[in-house]
Chain A
Amino acid sequence: MKDKNKRVKFIIGCVLTGLVFIMMLSGIFYTPFDPMEMDPSTKLMGPTLSHIFGCDNFGRDIFSRVMVGVRETMLVAGSVVIIGTLVGTIVGTITGYYGGWLDEIIMRLNDAVLAFPSVLLALLIIGLLGGGRNPLILALGIAFVPSFARIVRGEVLRIRNLDFIQCVKLYGASDLRIIFVHILPNLKTVLLSSVLIGFNNAVLAEAGMSYLGMGVQPPNPSLGRMLSEAQAYIFSNPLNAIFPGIVIVMMILGFSLMAGGLEK
């Protein structure tokens, strides 16, 4: 019963994520309309057969913009998770393996940053660097490092004390060999689920930041910004805000179902 539940979860998650990916990938080669082209005649038009999601306040096709916007969101979220995982793994491995005062200092700092909400930290960094896509990636990347570092450190600490590491040490293996050959490969399972969860949080954070106007700059489409633009016309065109929002939900739900299905 339990296993079957997990399988169902995983499959639904794959389907949702797959749909978003298909939309994103086909958006690279083909969009029904030019996502940047403004057309006064279709301004604030509801969904029709040719414009299935309708058109926004500049008459741009929302479906085309969603296809391109998903790519932006994925790009930002992906880069953020890569930065977080890489730096987090390096920091976590060093502090977890060597311990000592360096570990003490870095982990104190880590906990302080971890207690700070990532959106607030990202806003602070953007206040320093200015808005836009690349500063946003950097800002969120920094904000995401501590959680990965903490997870990796805990796992390294656990593995380091296992018998087989002691055994390899007796054979005279160097620290580097132990870390790269014996410890890092064992982090796979832990990292996989935290990457999936981290990706979700990154999608949420990206959408939130671009909703606030701190992410991808106009006229480039991004899901968060489309929501905030559509909000001004919520009385006359409520559906404009619904479609980009549903795509965000599909992305997050898909990934969290997949992560839930993989859990042991």
Chain B
Amino acid sequence: MKYILKKISTLIVTLLIVSALVFFAFSFIPGNPAITKLGTQATPEAIENLMHEMGLDRPVVTRYFEWIGGILHGDFGISYSYNQSVTSLLKEKIVITMLLSVMAIILTVLISFPLGIYAARKSDSKLDVIITSVNQFIMSVPSFFSGIIITLIFGVALKVFSPGGFVSYKQSFIRCIGYLFFPSISIALPKIAMVVKLLRDTALKEADKDYVRTAYSRGNRTRAVFYKHVLKNACIPVITFLGMAFADIIAGSLIVEQVFSVPGLGRILLTSISGRDYPVVEAIILLLSVFVVVSNLIVDLLYKKFDPRIHV
């Protein structure tokens, strides 16, 4: 319990630091959002009025605390270019990006564990050699390129799905999941390859240790030794990796969303960056860091469960 409390307090401090860095960084870059919005032809009074309306005439520190206060009430401010609240703008998109990332991580776990276990148990067999070589190749294919290939094979040639025909979860949850399956596969592919390699290598390394010999000498069968002893210990580095991979998967989904034209956070982040719509950019970066930090927390907790020796 104390462990969890300590972790949660560091989490809050980290998020405060990130939010301050993001907010102040965007406050200090040159360029006045009011002028951007009104155009260079605007009269000074109009600019002043708009700045007052947007709250830009007040000190940065006050604005930061107001911003944080607003976020705690679920209010991320008003978008410069869409003239609506950032919260309503992002609500649906967050769910889509999260669905995509969670599907990718589920696929990673579901596919990589059986393959990794198989490769470790049958190491030096023909199939293991094939798995290892294919792995090496898959790790080198960037997810946006595998996304294009998946679109070509399943979208253009086999017509299993129609590229660009995304259906929001609000209309039909099942069709939405069906569409997101293909982008999530292309996000998951390199991660699957990495987990298989990691699981296989650590399991083989564990299998050489003394406690494994002891387990055999007590009369356990190979199967029992593998699942009860080796696999359990081999899982620890894999969990660490999956925790880091989740952050990567979220970032990766920003790119893959573009490949499959999924209207998630990725596209609006890109248009907001080029359109200098800072409230939206700040909100997205902060939200994504919340996901990253929380996923790290979950990993830490899981970690402790798998390896009770770990202390704070």
Q: Mask for B9-48, Cβ within 8 A of A = 1, else 0? A: 0000010011000100110010000000000000000000
Q: Mask for B268-310, Cβ within 8 A of A = 1, else 0? A: 0110011000000100010011001100100000000000000
- B249 → chain A closest CB, angstroms: 9
Contact pick for A231, options B25, B26, B148, B252, CB 8 Å: B148
- A131 → chain B closest CB, angstroms: 7
Give the docked Cα–Cα distance between A214 and B112 (Å).
Answer: 33
Q: Mask for A206-236, Cβ within 8 A of B = 1, else 0? A: 0110011110000000001001100100110
Specify which chain A residues have a CB less than 8 angstroms from the CB of B274 in the assembled complex. Answer: 131
Interchain pairs with CB closer than 8 A, number:
102
Give the docked Cα–Cα distance between A239 and B143 (Å).
Answer: 18
Specify which chain A residues have a CB less than 8 angstroms from the CB of B259 in the assembled complex. Answer: 231
Q: Mask for B207-251, Cβ within 8 A of A = 1, else 0? A: 000000000000000000000000000000000000010011011
Query: Is A172 an interface residue, CB under 8 A from the partner?
Result: no
Contact pick for B144, options A211, A235, A242, CB 8 Å: A211
Q: Which of A22-30, A44-52, A61-69, A249-257 contacts its partner?
A: A249-257
A249 contacts B145, C-beta separation under 8 Å: yes
Specify which chain B residues have a CB less than 8 angstroms from the CB of A212 in the assembled complex. Answer: 254-255, 258, 270
Query: Interface size for chain A: under 10, 10 to 19, 20 to 34, or 35 or more residues?
Result: 35 or more
A228 contacts B136, C-beta separation under 8 Å: no
B269 contacts A117, C-beta separation under 8 Å: no
B145 contacts A119, C-beta separation under 8 Å: no
Query: Is A238 an interface residue, CB under 8 A from the partner?
Result: yes
A120 contacts B141, C-beta separation under 8 Å: no
A260 contacts B136, C-beta separation under 8 Å: yes
Contact pick for B22, options A117, A124, A214, CB 8 Å: A124
- List the 7 shortest-distance A-B pairs measured between CB atoms, nearest first: A117-B251, A253-B140, A245-B145, A252-B140, A127-B273, A119-B251, A120-B251
- List residues of A (192-213) whose CB comes within 8 Å of B's CBs: 200, 204, 207-208, 211-213
Give the docked Cα–Cα distance between A231 and B247 (Å).
Answer: 26
- B20 → chain A closest CB, angstroms: 12
B interface with A by C-beta (< 8 Å): 14, 17-18, 22, 25-26, 29, 136-137, 139-142, 144-145, 148-149, 151-152, 156, 163, 244, 247-248, 250-252, 254-255, 258-259, 269-270, 273-274, 281, 285, 288-289, 292-293, 296
Specify which chain B residues have a CB less than 8 angstroms from the CB of A231 in the assembled complex. Answer: 148, 151, 259
Query: Is A123 an interface residue, CB under 8 A from the partner?
Result: yes
- A125 → chain B closest CB, angstroms: 9
Give the docked Cα–Cα distance between A42 and B121 (Å).
Answer: 54
Specify which chain B residues have a CB less than 8 angstroms from the CB of A131 in the assembled complex. Answer: 274
Contact pick for B285, options A119, A120, A245, CB 8 Å: A120
Query: Is A156 an interface residue, CB under 8 A from the partner?
Result: no
Can you list 30 A-B pairs, Cβ within 8 angstroms, ordered by A?
Answer: A112-B18, A115-B292, A116-B292, A117-B248, A117-B250, A119-B252, A119-B255, A120-B250, A127-B26, A127-B273, A127-B281, A128-B25, A200-B140, A208-B142, A208-B144, A211-B144, A211-B255, A212-B255, A212-B258, A212-B270, A213-B270, A231-B148, A231-B259, A238-B152, A242-B149, A248-B142, A252-B141, A252-B142, A253-B140, A260-B136
- A54 → chain B closest CB, angstroms: 15
Contact pick for A119, options B141, B254, B258, B296, CB 8 Å: B254
B270 contacts A227, C-beta separation under 8 Å: no
Give the docked Cα–Cα distance between A253 and B140 (Å).
Answer: 5
- B18 → chain A closest CB, angstroms: 8
A interface with B by C-beta (< 8 Å): 112, 115-120, 123-124, 126-128, 131, 200, 204, 207-208, 211-214, 224, 227-228, 231, 234-235, 238, 241-242, 245, 248-249, 252-253, 256-257, 260
**Known contacts A112-B17, A207-B142, A249-B145; A235 and B270 CB within 8 A of each other:** no
A257 contacts B141, C-beta separation under 8 Å: no
B254 contacts A245, C-beta separation under 8 Å: no
Specify which chain A residues have a CB less than 8 angstroms from the CB of B258 in the assembled complex. Answer: 211-212, 228
Specify which chain A residues have a CB less than 8 angstroms from the CB of B252 in the assembled complex. Answer: 117, 119
Closest chain B residue to A114 by CB distance?
A: B244
Specify which chain B residues have a CB less than 8 angstroms from the CB of A228 in the assembled complex. Answer: 258
B270 contacts A234, C-beta separation under 8 Å: no
Closest chain B residue to A253 by CB distance?
A: B140
Specify which chain A residues have a CB less than 8 angstroms from the CB of B163 in the assembled complex. Answer: 234
Closest chain A residue to B246 by CB distance?
A: A117
